[in-house]
């Protein structure tokens, strides 16, 4: 039961971070400071670490890998 609670908590934190990321990226780019951009990068990295072990994260990994392989094969003569 403890593992299930940890998974639900991880998913809830990931959803919260996804909302924060969307709200931060909707702001005007000219108004951002360097520290603001660095904070956005840190939030996105934490989001990636939280989402990676989930089924959705694994799907993203597989899809990106297939896309990269397709691009590599298309570029090879």
pLDDT per residue as tens digits for the range 32-69: 688 888 888 888 888 888 787 778 788 887 888 888 88
The DSSP output letter for 27 is: S
Alpha helices in the chain (DSSP H): 2-25, 34-51, 55-75
Average pLDDT, rounded, for the chain: 78
In whole angstroms, give the CA distance from residue 9 to residue 54: 12
- Share of residues in the chain with pLDDT > 70 (%): 79
- 16 pLDDT band, cuts 50/70/90, is confident
First-to-last CA distance in the chain? 53
How far, CA to CA in Å, does 52 sit from each of 4, 9, 59? 17, 14, 9
């Amino acid at each position: 039961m403890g593992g299930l609670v940890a998974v639900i908590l991880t998913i809830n934190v990931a959803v919260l971070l996804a909302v924060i990321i969307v709200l931060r990226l909707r702001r005007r780019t000219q108004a951002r400071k360097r520290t603001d951009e660095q904070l956005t990068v840190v939030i996105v990295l934490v989001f990636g670490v939280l989402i990676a072990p989930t089924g959705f994260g694994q799907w993203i990994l597989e899809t990106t890998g297939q896309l990269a392989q397709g691009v590599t094969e298309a570029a090879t003569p």
